């Protein structure tokens, strides 16, 4: 796939991820989906494999990898199970926020525990009524001089069943719109924080999607991570990274689909000849391979822009929009090529297909990606009159 130039340390992290996925995750992921939950111990196991401080600088105990290397790590994990990969990238993204902008107390008090898998992070942006409209945050943070009281509810939060530290985005000044959004670090045991039950979904239950309610939650000056005026921009930067990550996850699921379907149609016979000689199946899976290649190029194009500090929102939106659609359609084609065997739990296709559908919603729906792309188009073609 993409020719990514990784250094020795990054290659070692990718190898660690592949070993963790092929061993620990492969042994348990089917049972996690049947149980509709992932146990907390998975984060400890991931930390033991060096996968809980991926984006944290090395002098603080992390592994300090770049965005392209992160995508390769997520491909290895998602090839086996997307939900575990997504849960870990949310945790790692939270740790990155603290590493980049945290106070000394946050860096000393939270980061070592997060890297060790002892404290699990969650990113609280989405709300029940706002959905993918991240600027329409209704949760209020009322106060002054750095002390605030939080009231509101967050929904569709990954790692909700196990999260210990919440990165909460709240509105400090409704009249200011997106410029009033700030983020706060809130331990889950803070009085007034209620963990809501996890959702039962189509699949991908190891993500642990759920919600939190905040009722008169007191936060002090030392708990603000990103101040008003910068909070929304910081959130969007995190989401751009997440969108590129989701695109790479889709590449991995398409690869798993072809790796499952191709041996099957080469070995199976129908109407007196191998299934692989049926032109309809040949072309169907050729389209999957093309879409996988295109998704790969789009994902790493966005990743390179993020690593270079360039404007990445449009590239990330293109990548996520195309790759999630390609993954859902491609996995469906791979299942169809296998006939009814594709439905069996012996194969990963049904689990990946459900995950591919979930991927179309996380970090902004396909429609939201179209909003981002449309705005970029209009800006590019706008002329001053």
DSSP string computed for 69-133: HHHHHHHHHHHH-HHHHHHHHHHHHHHHHHHHH--HHHHHHTHHHHHTTSS-EEEE---TTTTT-
Q: The CATH number of the domain where 20 resides is what?
A: 1.10.540.10
The answer to whether residue 157 sits within a structural domain is yes
Per the structure, the count of domains in the chain is 3
Judgement on whether residues 125 and 105 belong to the same structural domain of the protein: no
Q: How far is CA 34 from the centre of its chain?
A: 22
CB 320 within 8 A of CB 247: yes
Which of 259, 266, 314 has its CA nearest to residue 292? 259
pLDDT, residue 272, reads 67
Domain-terminating residue out of 167, 197, 228: 228
Does residue 366 share a domain with residue 241? yes
Q: Are residues 91 and 210 in the same domain?
A: no
> 259 and 194, same structural domain?
no
Would 348 be classed as within a structural domain? yes
Query: Do 44 and 179 lie in a common domain?
Result: no
Task: Tell me, yes or no, whether 32 and 91 share the same domain.
Answer: yes
- Chosen domain end from 115, 147, 173: 115
Q: Which domain holds residue 359?
A: 232-381
Domain containing residue 168: CATH number: 2.40.110.10
pLDDT score recorded for residue 2:
67
Residues 160 and 185 in one domain: yes
Q: Do 241 and 151 share a domain, yes or no? A: no
Shared-domain flag, residues 309 and 365:
yes
- pTM value is 0.91
Residue 318 belongs to some domain of the structure:
yes
How far apart CA 310 and CA 70 sit, in angstroms, is 18
Does residue 52 lie within any of the structural domains?
yes
Query: What integer pLDDT is reported at residue 132 of this predicted model?
Result: 59
SS3 243: helix
For residue 297, give the CATH number of its domain. 1.20.140.10
Pair 86, 132 in one domain: no
Query: 79 with 43, same domain?
Result: yes
Instruction: Report which secondary-structure segment, H or E, holds 155.
Output: strand 147-157
295 lies in some domain: yes
pLDDT per residue, tens digit, the chain (385 aa), is 666 789 999 999 999 999 999 999 999 999 998 888 889 999 999 999 999 999 999 999 999 999 999 999 999 999 999 999 999 999 999 999 999 999 999 999 999 999 999 999 999 999 988 665 666 788 999 987 778 999 999 999 999 999 999 999 999 988 888 899 999 999 999 999 999 999 988 888 888 899 999 999 999 988 999 888 888 888 888 889 999 999 999 999 999 999 999 888 777 766 767 776 677 778 899 999 999 999 999 999 999 999 888 789 999 999 999 999 999 999 999 998 888 888 888 889 999 999 999 999 998 888 999 999 999 999 888 876 5
* Whether 125 and 245 share a structural domain: no
- The answer as to whether 1 is a domain residue is no
pLDDT digits 0-9 by tens, 293-351: 999 999 999 999 998 887 899 999 999 999 999 999 999 999 988 888 888 888 899 99
Question: Is the Cβ–Cβ distance between 47 and 115 less than 8 Å?
Answer: yes
pLDDT value at residue 268: 75
Is there a domain that residue 89 lies in? yes
Asked whether residue 2 is assigned to any structural domain, the reply reads no
Q: Could you say which of 115, 146, 168 is where a domain stops?
A: 115
How many whole angstroms separate alpha carbon 244 and alpha carbon 114? 23
């Amino acid at each position: 796939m993409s020719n990514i130039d990784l250094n020795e340390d990054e290659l070692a992290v990718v190898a660690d991820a592949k070993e963790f996925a092929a061993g620990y995750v492969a042994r348990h992921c089917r049972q996690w989906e049947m149980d509709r939950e992932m146990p907390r111990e998975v984060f400890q196991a991931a930390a033991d494999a060096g996968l809980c401080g991926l984006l944290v600088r090395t002098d603080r105990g992390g592994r300090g990898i770049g965005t392209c290397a992160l995508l390769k790590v997520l491909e290895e994990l998602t090839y086996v199970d997307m939900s575990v990969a997504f849960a870990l990238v949310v945790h790692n993204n939270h740790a990155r926020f603290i590493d980049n902008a945290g106070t000394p107390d946050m860096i000393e008090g939270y980061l070592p525990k997060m890297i060790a898998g002892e404290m699990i992070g969650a990113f609280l942006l989405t709300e029940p009524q706002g959905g993918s409209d991240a600027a329409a945050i209704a949760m209020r943070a009322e106060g002054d001089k750095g002390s605030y009281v939080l009231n509101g509810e967050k929904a569709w939060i990954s790692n909700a069943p196990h999260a210990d530290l919440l990165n909460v985005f709240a509105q400090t000044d409704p009249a200011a719109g997106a410029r009033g959004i700030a983020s706060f670090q809130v331990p889950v045991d803070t009085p007034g924080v209620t963990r809501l039950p996890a959702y039962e979904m189509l699949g991908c239950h190891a993500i642990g999607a759920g919600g939190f309610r905040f009722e008169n939650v007191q936060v002090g000056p030392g708990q603000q991570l990103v101040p008003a005026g910068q909070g929304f921009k910081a959130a969007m930067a995190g989401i751009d990274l997440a969108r590129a990550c989701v695109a790479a996850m889709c590449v991995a699921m398409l690869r798993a689909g072809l790796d499952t379907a191709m041996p099957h149609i080469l070995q199976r016979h129908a109407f007196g000849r191998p299934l692989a000689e049926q032109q309809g199946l040949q072309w169907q899976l050729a389209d999957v391979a093309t879409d996988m290649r295109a998704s790969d190029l789009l994902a790493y194009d966005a990743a390179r822009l993020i690593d270079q500090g360039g404007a990445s929102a449009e590239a990330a939106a293109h990548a996520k929009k195309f790759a999630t659609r390609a993954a859902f359609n491609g996995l469906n084609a791979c299942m169809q090529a296998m006939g009814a065997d594709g439905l069996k739990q012996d194969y990963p296709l049904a689990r990946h297909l459900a995950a591919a559908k979930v991927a179309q919603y996380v970090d902004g729906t396909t429609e939201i990606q179209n909003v981002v792309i449309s705005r970029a188009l209009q800006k590019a073609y706008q002329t001053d009159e």
